[in-house]
Structure formats: C-alpha cells, structure tokens
Structure 1
Amino acid sequence: MVGVLVALLVAAVTTAAPQAHPPRRCLNQKCGNVSVPYPFGIDSGCYREEKFFINCSQSTNPPIAYLGEGNLPVTNISLEKGELQIQMLITKDCYDQQGEQTNDSQAFSSIKMAEFTISATKNRFMAVGCDTNAIFGGYRETEQYMSGCTSFCQSIPSVNDSCSGIGCCQTYIPSGLTNQNITLESFYNHKYSWNFNPCSFAFVVENGQFTFSGETSFQVLSNTKRLPMILNWEIGNESCSAAKKRVDYPCHNKTTKCVDRIIHNKPASSGYFCQCLPGYQGNPYLPDGCQDIDECETSNPCDNGTCHNLDGSYYCKCNSGYRNHDPKTCIPGTKNTALKISLGVCLSFLVLLVLVFWIYCGVKRRKFKKQQEKFFKQNGGLLLRQQLTRYNGSIETASIFSEEDLKKMTDHYDEKRKIGEGGSGLVYKGILPADKREVAIKMSKVSAPITDSLEFANEVILLSQINHKNVVKLLGCCLETQTPILVYEFISNGTLYDHLHGKDGKEKLSLESRLKIASGTAEALSYLHHSISNPIIHRDVKAMNILLDKNYVAKVADFGASRLVLEDQNQLATLVQGTLGYLDPEYLQSHILTDKSDVYSFGVVLAELLTGKKALIKRKNEAENLANVFVCAMKEGRLAEILDADVVKEEHNFETIVEKVANLAKKCIALRGEERPPMNEVAVELLGLVQIMGKNTAGEKVDDIQRSSEDTDHLLGSPAANYYDYVLDVRGEVGDSASIAVEPYDHGR
C-alpha cells in the first residue's frame, strides 16, 4: 500500500503585530537536547509569531521538539544561517518474493509548508535501490517543478562511497520550494534484485548525512525511519531595504546586520534574517544580543607581537624590530638609511615613469583623434553632414555615429555581441541608447578607404530613405574609421539560406510561407527597379541576402554590389560581381548589367524555395547549376521529382500553385534577358498566388482583399496607387558611374 505523509505547517492567522523581543523569563529555553532561541519559542508569548512556535512534546525522554502543530521533529535551529534541521520520513517501496507490494510500503510522501522553504544548497534528492524510479516534485508559489532519477541493477559491485547510478542515484532540487512530493515506482517489482534488495528508498537529505555503501546501505535504510533535512526560515517576506522602513524591524542594533534570502532565478529577495556582525556572537534578535568576541582571550591570533582586543575585532602590537603592515599583520621594520634612500629613488622614478606614460597617452589620444578626423573627411563625413543639414528633418535620413558611440552600443565589441562573421566583415548586435532599439553594426574587414566621398555621402542618404517593409533599413554610419562602419535595423530570424539549408535546426517552411517570402522579395526588387527616380540594381540577389524577421517577413539585404541606374541609362557596363549559381549568364558573358540580371537571380531563389536545393548542386567532384537542373526537369515533366518534401506534402491546390510558381521561375531564368518578365510583373503574379493560398488556408477578409488589389495596381504602375510613402530623387548628386559602397549585414556570411 502507498503511504502518505502530510505534514501541514500552515501558520495560524493572527492580527497581532510581531513582538520585538520576548519577556526575560523566556530566554535560553531548551526542549530536550535542542536549544530554542528567539525568535523561536516554546511557551505562548515567547516566540515572535506563530510560524516560530516549537511544540515540545514531553511524552518521550528526552522530550522531542516539533515544528508548529505538525509531526516534524526539529533537531537544530541555526540563527547564523537562518536554517532548521528537521528529521524527514524516508519514502520506501518494498515487495515480497512473488513481486507483491508489502504492507509497510509508503511509495508516496508529501510535505506542505507555508512559511518555510527547502534548502537547495544544503540538501540533495537521493534514490536507493536496484529497481527504482524516483520522482521529486514541488511548488514555488504557483509554479510547479519536477525532477528525479532512475537506478536499475541486477547486482551491486563493490562501491566506495559512490552514488553514481548503480544502486543509488541523486540530483539537485530547485530552490525556494514550500512543499515536496516524492513518488517511488518499480519497473519489475524487484524480481531481479529481491534476494539482496527487496525495497526502494527515496528521500531529501542534508548534504553529508547519508553515504551510499552498497548492500550495507540497503540494510541501514530498512531499519531507519528518518533522515535530517535542512529548511530555510526568514523573519519577513520582504527585502532588507523594505524591512528597514518598518517600526518592528528586528535587525536595528548596531552590532547586527540584515541578510537578504535570494532564491535562484527570482530577481527579488524572498525574505530576510538577522546576523551578528563579524567579531560578534549571540542572538541578533535580542537587545544587546550580539556580544563582542574576545579573540585574545583563548589564544593569541597574532603571529608576531601581542593581541589587544577591540570592539568587534583585535589588533596586534608588533614585537621590537617589526611594524604593522595592517592592524593584524606585522612585517620586519628597518633603520637602514641606504635602503630608505633607495626606496625614495625608486618611488621618484616611478612617479616620473607615470608622468611620462600620462604624457605619452595624451599624445596618442591626440594622434588618434586627428586620425579619426582624417578618416571622417576622407569618407565624406563633411559632405554627408552638409547633405543631412539640407533636409533639416523633412524626411528620415541616416544618422552619423562616432566610434565611441558604437563601442558603447556593443559593450566595446564584446564577443557575446558578435552575431556574424564572414570573409567580408564582422557583424555585432548593438542597442541604441536613445530608444533601446536593437541594431546590427557591420564592420568591414577590408581596409580600403572610400575614394569618392561625394558619391558615398549621396548614396548613404539614398539608402537611408528607402523605407520599404521588405528592405533592410540603413539607420546610419560611422566615418571615423578607415572603412566606414554601417548601422542597420536588426533582423532576428536569420537568412532564408539558414532556413532552407542550415544545420542549426531552423523551423521548416510551409508552401504558404515560401510564397510569402518570395512575394515580399519580389516587391522589394520591384520597388528598387520601378518606384524610385534613380532605380537600383541589386546585383547579388540570393537566399543568403534575404533575411527573415520573427514573423517570417522577407527583408532584402546586402547592397554591397548594387548599382544606381540614372534616368538616361538603360544598361551599365561593369565588372562582373555576384555569386556563382545566381549570376545572370548574359551579364557574365557581356558585362552589361540590366534589371533583368536581378530577375534571373530571383528566379534561382524561386527554384531554391520550390526544391530546397542549393543554387550550386554538388555531385561527386562536379557542381551543377540549380537553374539548369530545374529547367531540364520541367521540360522532361520531372518537376515533382526535384520538389522539396515540405512543399510536396501540402494539400490545398498544391499542383496548380506549384506549377504556376515553377513556370514563373522558368521564365525568370531564361537565358536571354529580353525573354524574362520585369520584376513588377513577377511581384504581381506572386501576390495573386499568395492571395489564393490565403483563401484556401484561413479565408480572406474584405479589407485584406482590397489592400491586395491596391498593391497589385501599384506594382502594375497604376497612377492611383499610393503603396510607398514617397519617391526618392537624388538627381544631380550622384555621378554616372555611381556604385553603392555599403553592405548590410547577412548574419555571418
């Protein structure tokens, strides 16, 4: 049968305020062998409040002290540590040779307390037995915690004070628990260990009060009913700082101090208790209860000289030839004049050295400041500041940060703040001091200065004004370093590449999520190509440059290879830049860059979303372009063979939607640029597919449909559309061969 131990320790409700100290007749009370110091007490009026009542039972010899009206024996009360030692029943589960549970089994026990907590640092939860599964549970206020351990064995080898899983297991317990439940279970009813171990035992025990020693421990526990356990107690349930404001504050004596009881993982104090200051001993809850310790009375603590007692301490009067290094330490004295002169010379030299070092540091600081000013001018800082003044807050523009600002935002570039590192640079997570907003700070590893400061100033202003929901926003820059440091909005959920190909357990993407990511990316590229007066060609569209926020909204990043296209330019002759697998073959051959180059790269991303394969597929010792594999599969009617398993398992309109997306991807990766659709048409088609998918999965609201229609009108060029806040115009500020020379972060590319 399962035995239940319930020790209710709930303090009686009383309206009386806690008494400051007991009557003189109550001092130095004892119950049997247990001293009961105030605030605890035995008789009425001799304890501070009800929870400190000790019931001294005279039915035994010697008498036994019980906690409150319960049945938990108290064997020690510590004022210094705010602890109680109690004797706790052992939970046990026994079986006979036929595997039947015996009558003396108590496989479940429970203790509930309102005013005391189980010490997590002074106790351990242990289970003993060779067919034992023990579970420990408890509550901290309304939060439940469970732990436990398992031990199974068919024999016990010789052990040497070890509880490591063979016949015995142990674990820590959470702090701050006001109750505990212990449950014992047996896997095979001890059939395989009955001849030497018919019982399992579980208990919370004070550290060092139980040592496992093989079969001997089985016999000892069979004849033992209780083991010691430590409880914590406090005077109040508030912090010391709050208790000091109360009229009944007990730690007010000049020889006492207040100690907060801090429970792990709880930000605030869970109560407090009083202690005597170092050098004093006694009862801190009584008037003048803490008395000075005469350290010199019993022994001489001084290694040299004689000991003289002080109030709360002592000092050593040194022997002849020695002097005090501090009040308790003596060191050899000296009358050597030459040594004194030497010490004086050394001290003077040290002062001179400090002075020279201080002057050197001042020179270095001034030199560093001049170098910062040089880089600031070289990187177009004066021009950028001039340009920002012209706007005078009429539109949102970039901020100029000092190098010291960035150090404060990143805790001096703490390694814990590093969120990415690649061949091109380092990315740190920072906190803006003004509004506590999280930002990403990208430092380039390339030590090459910006040569055209006018272009850089205009392009920073241009990028900072791009305010699109699917484009990573540039917030500012620091120009006091050789290569500018750039500050961007922080995107928390990694890159599309991480979610498609990463090994860090990213959440799988559904077909609907993939469509929304593709649609958001297409809208961003359409905006860059068609909705600003000087269009921008991204030139490096790839899965690693598409970031996802916590809601899986796509954010296009990394404009490091981008180019501005002025109104009188349709094509740009440039050095080929980009990433293999995403590069437009026409651009690779002709070096002529057009917006259709971005369309090709986006088509590869679409194929990547459908197939879950990388842009370059490794096969043995060769690498094959995903674009070629995708087009061949479609021509041969094998599209289903290369689709990602997470896409194939979708049910709603699967074939129709996937086929349309696949056909759109095929158009985008056409070899000839003139055969590819413009980015705004791609965005419109994907937006329509997202709307269809939304209707099939959760239905569509009227205002959502209307907003989707407005978005579609804008992407098609409708004059009535107002999808973006404004059109950027920096004509006359950027040269014909302008190139974006800034790079957003990419989470460790």
Structure 2
Amino acid sequence: MDWLLLYHLFITVLISVPYSLAEAPQSLGCQTTCGDVNIPYPFGIGQGCALSKEFELNCTRDKNGTYKAFTSESSDVEVVNISLFQGQARVKNWISWQCYNSTANEISDYSWGELNLTTTPFRFSSTQNKFTAIGAQTLAYFYLQNGKPLWYRTGCVSVCLSMQGLVNGSCSGIGCCQTAIPLGMNYYTVRFDGNFNSSDVSSFSRCSYAVLIDANSFNFSTTYITTTNFWYGNNGQVPVVVDWSIGNETCQAAQRNKTSYACVSSNSSCIDSTNGPGYFCNCDKGYEGNPYLPGGCKDIDECLNKSTCSGICTNTPGSFICSCPRGKHQVGNNTGDCYNNSRIPLWVKMLIGICVCIVVVLILSSFIYLVHERRKIATMKEKYFREYGGQLLYQEMKSKQGFTFTIFKEEELKEATNNFDAKNILGEGGNGAVYKGTLINNEDVAIKRCKTFDERQKKEFGKEILILSQINHKNIVRILGCCLEVEIPILVYEFIPKGTLFDLIHSYHTSHFSLSSRLRIAQEAAEALAYLHSWASPPIVHRDVKSSNILLDENFMAKVSDFGASVLAPSDQDQFATLVQGTRGYLDPEYMQTGQLTVKSDVYSFGVVLIELLTRKKAFYWDGAEERSLSSAFLSAMKVNKLREVLDDQILNEESMNLISGVAELARECLNMEGEKRPEMREVAETLDRLRKTMKHPWVHEIPEEIESLICEPSTNKELEITSYRSLEEKAMLTIESGR
C-alpha cells in the first residue's frame, strides 16, 4: 500500500509540473519589478521565473543604491523597458568616442565599444534605430553580425570645417550623420577611421562619437561638436530599441506543439516576428493583460471609461454596447456619442438638409429624364408605326381570317439575332443586310435591315407590304412579318437553308452542276417572276433580280427573295419613273438611261442570270488583266458564232449543244437593248419549260435544222428571227406530243 501511495504521488507531481512552471511568476513569488522597470512574463528575475534561460534577467544594485535590470550575470546590457504588446524593449548602449590630444599630436583618448545580444532573445530594431556619428572630422564604421558567421559593415562621414553650417536638429552630414541598419542583427562593434581625426579642427572640436541609438530619442545639438555634452550629458549611454521573439519558429509551426506554444491565454493571438525568426503574443482586441499566462488576457471593461459612451453602456466580452436613452439619438455605429434630438447643432441640421435636398433633386432629375427619354422613344416608335401604315396592317389582320402576318417588336428581333450580331449575317448588299434569327417559338427566320428608304416607299409601305404578305407561290420566299418601330422598317422572311444560287454557281465551282439542274432552277425562278408580273394584283416589279436573290431550299428548289427594292406597278400605265436601283451587271441599260421602270427590266436581269448558269461566270468577271461585262461578252460571242468559248466546260458536249443553244437564244432575247422587244416573263418560263421537256425525251436529241441555222447564222431581221424560232420550236413540240 505504501508503494502504491508513493506511485500515485509521483504521477501527480509529474502532471502538475508543467502547470507549476506556467504559473511560476505568481506561484513561486517571482519578482515582477526591478527598480522602475516592470518585468512581465515570459521575462523573469531569477531561476525558474522566466519562460526559458535566455529570458532570465538579473536585478543588480549599483553604487548609488539604484536597482537595475540586466540581461545576464556576465552581461552589462541594462534593460530599461519591456513591451509585451509591441514585442520590443529598450536597452542602454555605450557611446564609442575618440579625442585628439594636441599636446601629443595624436588620438590618445578613445573608447571603442560593442553591444553583444547573441545570448538574448533581442535583435536590434532596423526601423527605429540609426547608426549615428558626431564630429567635425569623423568617419565611423559599424560592424554587425546576426549570430551567424556573416558580417555586415556600414558607416557614415560627418564633416564641418567651422561652426558655420551647423544646425540644431539637423543630422544630414554636417557635424552629424546617420545611416540605417539591416534586419536580424544582434551584435555590433564600432571602429573609427584613423585618417579622419580632429587635428585640423581641434581649435573648436576635439572629439568624435559613434553609437547605435533610438532615432526618436536623439536630437542633434551644435554643442555636441564643441563640448563633451553628448557623452557626459548621457552618462556615456543612450537608449537603443530591440525587438524580441520566442524561439525560431513561425506561428504556424509553433502552434503544432501545444506543450511549448507560448500564447497560452485564451483570447490571445500569435504574431510572426518581422525582425528575424520567432514569434510573440498579443491579447485580442477588447482584452488586455499577459497572453503568456493562462487566463492572462482579461476583458477590458470599456464602460469604466466615462468618455466611451455618453448613453447607456453595456460591457460585453471583448467589446461594449452603447445605446442612447429615449429622446436622444446616436451619431455613428456604437460610437458612444448621444445627442438630444432637440439639441442637434444648427449647422448639422443645415448640412443634413442640404444633402437630402441634393439627393432628392438628383433622384427626381434622373426619374424625369428617364421618363422623358422613354416617352420620346415611344413617340418616335408611334410616329414610325403611323408613317409605315401600321394601322392599315392591323385592320387587315383583324378583318381577314387566316391572315398569317406578324408585326414584331424591335426587342423581339434584337433578341432573335443577339442584338443583330455580325456573326448572324447571312448576306449583305447595297440595299441592306440579312441576319439569321431564331424567334421565341424556336422558328428560324431571315431578318432584313434595309439601309435606305425613299419617300415613295414610306407612303406606300403599308399597302405594298400588305400585298407582298399575301403572295403565296412555291418559288417565292414568304414574308412573315415586319417591324415598324424603327426609322427604316425591318422585314422578316422564312428561312431558306441551302444558301443562294450565286454560291452554288461561283463558290463551289469545282463541284458538278448538271445542265438539267440549271434549267430546273432557271424555270422555277422564271415561274416566280412570271407570277409577280402577270398574276399578282397589282403587278409587282422585283427590281433587283440576280443570282444572289434566288435562294435554294433543302431540296434545292429555287425561291426568289429580297423584296426590299420591289415596287408595285401602277394599273393605268406600263412604266413609271423611279430612282434607279439594282445591282451592277444586272441593271437594265434602258432603265438606267431613262429611269422608266417596267416589268421588262426584271426580264433583262433574268437574262443575265441565265448566262450565269450557262457560263458559270459572274456578272462582271476578270479576263486576264481586264474586267469584262458578262452580258457584253456573251452577246459578242453569240454575234460571231463563238458561243462555245464562253460556255461552262461541265455542260459542253455535242448531245446537249442544241439545247444549250436554245437557252442561249432565249437569254439573248431577254438582253435586248429595247425593253419592248424582250419577251414577257411568262413566255420565258414557258420556253424554259418546253426546253426541259425536250431534254426529258430521249428520242428528241436535236432542235430542227431550221432553228440551228438561225442560232448559228445571226439574222439581220431580229423580229423575223424570234418569230421563226418560236414557230419552229412549236413544230418540235408537236412532234414530241405526237410521239407520245
């Protein structure tokens, strides 16, 4: 039983040792002051009273009976102040000096000092100390070390040949100089350069001084040059600021070892040292005390300070709450400034009132401006809507059953095209750009934004768009709706996926494009134009017929598009004057000269499309270094019986030559310079239909010799030539019909 009791007692002592050491300054009755210096833990006087050996201090009584704290028994470094919060202390440093002996004509009096802190937790503060030299002819060197076999040397020169130029408080090199030191230094010594002495200036300045000093405690005096006041006035020592830290680990590393971690108080924080390795501790905001002792950080009762809160103060852990009694208000958040509602200074009331008025005026002005701009935009949209016949369209939409036409909002079309993003452009020409868009119901559409709009189009737009919207032909692109809220109306068409005839002819030049496909597309386009000219009421002149306005659907069926330049022909006359509009290379020469637009202008343009199909050349193309008109080159070749030279090689063979010659002759009729002599579009469509039927019957390989002779030998009588061609062609068709 006695052994068991001793065992438990031994274990209890072992467990209690760490706690006893943590409580050492209090439980062991350790001395907490030395003279006027407070000695807070982790520092301590005597064995077992400090955190570690390097933090132990000695309290020694000098010859005057004053107690002073020193770093160790073997050190004469006097500690005059320790700050836990800043992790700093102030120690005394001996002033190094040398004086010129005029009798011996040499430097015979000197004391070159050093300061060694290598066995302490101290390092010289590089931010608050300056190496300072004083004298009329002085060059002092400062040797430093950071505890490693690495030395640093710095220094400065102080010169003055007379008392002139010396200024109290100025240490800029005249009588006094200063220089900074690097981080992490804990040892230094001073040396004077022997070539700099006071022999030349001994009449007014005999001594030089050098020391590392707290820059904030030093103020240069001109008497330091002419007297020994700097030494004797400071008893040979001046304060220097040192940073201290615990160990050589960072906070992150130190916190892993709970037994050696020094910040043991709750409500405390660890701070990495900025001057060498190690860390120190601080109490958190709202707490004060010693973070190195358990429970050492105590809550600050801010309410004890009457100036903290002029209202009702309630202390809380680490903070406080200040509230104002009834009838008073608080300025700021928890500031403690409570004012009577009736006692707010007049200037404060005026300032608040002015600020409120300015804010109100700004808000009202912004609101009025926004309302005005919205009304302005709404007025402009309403104006455009009226100008372009929006009311007429609305009435027709209400009155007619099955009238599928939509008047779109501008925002709908912006959303459909991603704000008319250039990436969505399908094509662009002189009359505008066409964008691909996707409506809210996921329907793909083609949206055209026109660039120009003349006054006639503005007046007639509503009527014309109403007629165009009712066109229902398989070879004409349907117009689905329009937007009238903009300066120039936006048109919405059905989306045709396979691109344009222009692309098929020219962009894919190496791909095979059969003669039968060319004739089919030509006939389908001709049927569409014939419908516009002969069966629409009133007739419609397209005015911009070209291969890029003939689209191809998923089955490569032709669909005539782009009615942005179309006009309605008047019922009482065959032609009328209008602004010349169209595309270079396709424009009717007669229309360009006279400005008189007729349906025959479309016929001419279609003739250019026909020869594009036969030659696979553009309306204007480069022949060597020369740009040539396709229509002129074609007519010239026909005239001299050299049609083969301009034809596309893919369709050039003996079996199809007669058929090609028939199409070429039809194109020449369409390109007649006199509009009256050109065929109607319905005649063109019928002729193309007959030629296609000829191609479909294998037993008819040739056009009668009479027709071939007319093609190969140009006649001087054009009227007779055309008539003969048609009569002979009719005979051929009768032969085909009887063959069935």
More helix by share: 2
Q: Which has the higher contact order (CA 8 A, sep 6+)?
A: 1
- Bigger-Rg structure (1/2): 2
TM-score by length of 2: 0.45
TM-score by length of 1: 0.44
